[in-house]
Amino acid sequence: MRGSFDGPTTGGRETSSISNLRRRPFQLVAAGFALAVGVGTLLLLSPAASSGPAASPLTALFTATSAVCVTGLVVVDTPTAWSPFGQVVILLLIQVGGFGIMTMASLLGLLLSRRLGLQTRLAAATSARTVGLGDVRGVLLGVARTTLVVEGLTALVLTARWALGYGEPIGRALWFGVFHAVSAFNNAGFALFSDSLIGFASDPWICVPLTAAVIVGGLGFPVILEIWRQHRRPSRWSLHSKITVLTTGALLLLGTLFFLVAEWSNTLAGLSPGGRLLAGWTQSVMPRTAGFNSIDTGQLHEGTLLGTDILMFIGGGSASTAGGIKLTTFAVLLVVIWSEVRGDPDVSMFDRRIAASAQRQAVSVALVGVAVVIVPTVAISLTSPFGISDVLFEVISASATVGLSTGITAELGPVHQLILVVLMFLGRLGPITFATALALRERQRFFRYPESAPIIG
């Protein structure tokens, strides 16, 4: 995006205008998500949205933020606390949040006028996390097609399973299928069952389609489109796509093995060997950051919770519906460490040298992510009766927009829940927005200070 603006200018006023265009998209995206949260809160405050007494302002705000930010944390039970109208509102908020406020607005503008203005294209590029301005139109249409295809196929399989396998009326089965398909693809984790997926832990016709939708949604639209266009020539994939696919596969495999070993005689003990394998796979996928759970998260070993914390903190792919510091950030940090251990002067992956600016951005995103987790964890731990392990899990789940919980969300105080609301909002805007802002602020210096090296370690 930076290179798209290079060229001669006519004066300071034009330079200032370009600078404003660079900064404005981030403000538009934040304002768009804030507006969606506000509208969602008002709708959920309506008596028609609740199955009992009208929701409190905090409950409505928390639920709307969790839906728009595709997190999945809840302070009330979704299937019993909200009416069918309230559940439809939540579903729409999830779709709006996952698709991206600016992406939807730009797509509507494209359909109406068949052309995009520069500022709209910049806003869409920020929301969709694309790099160049020229490919935004294709990305927008690709996002729409991908969303419809993945959610449609997932909903079809789930609807058939609930209708044929569990005897649900076709209307109810269809609603279950559509709601959970949208929730899965957008990595939201909202479920219409009080125990999430625990009742279907051994059912591959439920868990496999949902995990597949979560994985596809967590890859990121640029990666999905590139895989679709270059599926016969993986060698021609971009470095970003290669890193995302490789890291995704590695973390899914290691995560499954980790959960099977750690929980084989604990939360997985009551399942058959096949059921344990399926549940281990499901629990490996969901911290990426979906929020469904097929085993009781509150009963996990302390070590398993810590391992889940790590998976949630890493998150999914850039430009995806997932949160976390992102797979590429994690992969670049690993390669930086490996290169330093080996004494290599350059940091490289797949025969490509990683730019020094990308390395600095990865370190910045990771350290800011750590700070965003530590400060609220300390604050909530000091002012609540819950242990550090449960609080840390909750904070990472909110900031990485995961939605998994050990069960303490509803028991936290109002101030603590407001902290989680802020974390969910910041997590949805994402470390990638921060990284992009850093890239756009990069400036050229015409001098360098003399080099010196402090003692490290």
Q: Which amino acid is at 249?
A: G
Q: What is the pLDDT of residue 11?
A: 45
Phi then psi for residue 117, to 5 deg, are: -75, 165
Which of 247, 279, 285, 246 has the alpha carbon at shortest distance from 262?
279
Predicted confidence band at 202 (pLDDT cuts at 50, 70, 90)?
Answer: very high
Residue 22 has pLDDT above 50, yes or no: no
Q: What is the pLDDT of residue 429?
A: 78
Q: How far is CA 409 from the centre of its chain?
A: 19
Q: What is the pLDDT of residue 112?
A: 43
Predicted confidence band at 410 (pLDDT cuts at 50, 70, 90)?
Answer: very high
Predicted confidence band at 439 (pLDDT cuts at 50, 70, 90)?
Answer: low
| Widest pairwise Cα distance in the chain | 75
Q: Are 182 and 151 in contact (CB under 8 A)?
A: yes
| Selection from 233-242, 384-393, 433-442 with the highest mean pLDDT | 384-393
Residue 446: other Cβ atoms inside 10 A: 4
Share of the chain above pLDDT 90, in %: 59
- Identify the DSSP state of 283: H
Q: Are 367 and 431 in contact (CB under 8 A)?
A: no
Residue 389 has pLDDT above 90, yes or no: yes
Judged by average pLDDT, the poorest of 318-322, 398-402, 426-430, 446-450 is 446-450
Q: How many residues does the chain have?
A: 457
Using CA of residue 23, residue 325, residue 150, residue 73, what is the dihedral sign? negative
Q: Are 416 and 382 in contact (CB under 8 A)?
A: no
Residue 224 has pLDDT above 60, yes or no: yes
Average pLDDT over residues 341-355: 86
Predicted confidence band at 106 (pLDDT cuts at 50, 70, 90)?
Answer: very low
Q: What is the pLDDT of residue 14?
A: 41
Q: List the structure tokens of 352.
A: 């490509």
Predicted confidence band at 2 (pLDDT cuts at 50, 70, 90)?
Answer: very low
| CA–CA distance, 34 with 53 (Å, rounded to integer) | 26
Predicted confidence band at 398 (pLDDT cuts at 50, 70, 90)?
Answer: very high
Phi-psi region of 298 (alpha: psi -120 to 50; beta: other; left: phi over 0): alpha
More confident residue, 121 or 395: 395
Q: Are 79 and 193 in contact (CB under 8 A)?
A: yes
pLDDT per residue as tens digits for the range 276-326: 999 999 999 999 888 899 999 999 999 999 999 999 999 988 777 888 898
Predicted confidence band at 130 (pLDDT cuts at 50, 70, 90)?
Answer: very low
Average pLDDT over residues 241-266: 95
| CA–CA distance, 377 with 368 (Å, rounded to integer) | 14
| Selection from 24-33, 124-133, 254-263 with the highest mean pLDDT | 254-263
More confident residue, 8 or 45: 45
Q: What is the pLDDT of residue 137?
A: 65
Q: List the structure tokens of 308.
A: 């889940």
Residue 434 has pLDDT above 80, yes or no: no
More confident residue, 410 or 229: 410
Share of the chain above pLDDT 70, in %: 80
Average pLDDT over residues 18-27: 51
| CA–CA distance, 216 with 102 (Å, rounded to integer) | 21
What residues pair up with 353 in beta bridges, in sequence order?
Answer: 348
Residue 3 has pLDDT above 50, yes or no: no
Average pLDDT over residues 164-172: 95
Confidence (pTM): 0.86
pLDDT per residue as tens digits for the range 81-92: 999 999 999 999
The answer for residues whose C-beta is within 8 angstroms of residue 90's C-beta and 6 or more apart is 44, 63, 67, 78, 82, 190
Q: What is the pLDDT of residue 229?
A: 79
Q: For the chain, what is the mean pLDDT? A: 84
